[in-house]
Amino acid sequence: MTDTSQTLHINGRSVSLPTGLFINGQFVDCKQGARFSVQDPATGKTLISIAEGREDDVDEAVRVARQVFDTGEWSASNPADRGALLNKLAHLMEQNKDDVIALECADTGKTIQQCSTLDFPGSVGTLRYYAGWADKVRGETSFNIPGTFAYTRREPIGVCGQIIPWNFPLMMFIWKIAPALVTGNTVVIKSAEATPLSALKVCELIAEAGFPPGVVNLVSGYGRTVGSAIAHHMDIDKVAFTGSTATGRAIMRAAADSNLKPVTLELGGKSPNIIFPDADIDSAVEWSAWGINMNFGQTCHAGTRIYVHQDVYDEFLAKFTDRMSQVTVGHPFDASTNQGPQNSQMQYDKILGYIDSGVKEGATVHLGGKAIDKGNGGYYIQPTIFTNVRPEMKIMREEIFGPVVAIAEFSSEAEVIRQANNTPYGLAAACHTKDYERAIRVTNALRAGTTWVNMYNFVHWSVPFGGYKESGIGRECGEAVLENYTHTKAVYFNMGIPCPKV
């Protein structure tokens, strides 16, 4: 084991952090000795440098994960023991809450408020939820075929490769590993190169909790090396990915070109948020603001297309504009901050490019639309509202992943459903109305994996989450995700049925 720990000083707090790869229960240097820098989005300066994994490190992690899976030490262990370890990890996370939250805020630019009330408790809750599933992943029995008895077993798939995004690094790490582990799989996981720190800290806690070495392996690095190696690896049995649609396509191709491993994908979105004339406008304004302000628009299910009925358009726009103008953009650790910096220079430039395209295509910048210079090099952008938009504009069709929302009028239910579904994506959608017959009718018609009524951006670990169309394949969360991490084996017993004559 190599001592790779460093101490980060974050908001007056000293946090010890391992900086190596986590393989076989230990933090080790990468084989090629490479390292990469992690930036602080609040300043644009380097926070720390960590080990950069490469293809040969993935090979080693997979070898270890395969060995521990094949021995049955984890895959054939008592499911209740696996659940107990997930609960122990949840307990250790709570004991180290302040350190984990500090790392997540510093690494991502998230506000201390969001990390404390959403990301961290959501991660701990997910661990405890799947701990409860440990002894409940069961098969079925059948006596319905004369002369036979049949049953099914739910068996772990094997070595699972997992690739997580930069926007919710802590939560996505837990969303991925918890269902995979509780069903008996072993894991080789890649964190996003922009936000690897909370995963390193949690791996430290995984070792402290007493998980068998090799059950969880973390290889930090870049998509073109580590991510590609995971997707192409002949000894990885399944890949789960959250990120862009373009990368999801590449992973599917790699899986098909290698060992035809199953793939689950949670990808992009361009989600509609519909305000009907009978909606509680004040409530709709609050939820719509949360729909774009959560994580500063850096979420795949952000409500970036708001459709407002013409009868209440002026009222909604006035109140929504006032609400968005109250958003305080500032340092992540300032308790008064509602919106921190965007996560990276690349994302900052991308968002400003979309704003520029909206202006060039004739949309009106109703609010914001500019970068904010805080004098410290951080990646700050004003909350932005576009009006006078058309369906064919880039800002209405492509995922921006920033604090930018477009508002359009509609006149009828049928019209707005057509507009809402006029997208290659289908991750989320919402409607605001007091008419529950309309709410059921509209949510049934919306082509999206998650739909909300009189709310927005509420996701819970116990309810399946995933997309239609180009927003992905498969589901995260809830009982549904357990299907992604188990094979179903059928077993037949002959109870007197004669052998057919040839």
Catalytic (active-site) positions: 266
| Helix ranges, 220-378 (H) | 228-232, 245-257, 281-293, 313-325, 345-360
- Per DSSP, the chain holds a count of helices (H) and strands (E) of 15, 26
DSSP 297-321: G-STT---EEEEETTTHHHHHHHHH
Q: What six digits make up the tokens of 437? A: 């017959």
DSSP for residue 414? H
Beta bridge partners of 381: 371
Which residues, at least 6 apart from 308, have a Cβ–Cβ distance to it below 8 Å? Answer: 275, 316, 317, 407, 408, 409, 410
Determine which helix (DSSP H) or strand (DSSP E) holds 405, and give its type and residue range: strand 404-410
Find the helix or strand (DSSP H, E) in which 10 lies. strand 5-10
Rounded to whole angstroms, the Cα distance separating 267 from 265 reads: 6
Phi, psi at residue 400, to the nearest 5°?
-90, -40
Residues with Cβ within 8 Å of 273's Cβ and at least 6 positions away in sequence, in order, are: 288, 291, 303, 305, 306, 307, 429, 430, 431, 432, 456
Residue of 256, 263, 337 whose CA lies nearest to 293: 337
Residue type (1 letter), 196: P
What sign does the CA torsion over 106, 110, 112, 116 have? negative
Is 379 within 8 Å of 41 (Cβ atoms)?
Answer: yes
- Token duo for residue 337: 């901050």
Cα–Cα distance, 432 to 273 (Å, whole number): 8
Bridge partners (DSSP) of residue 361 are none
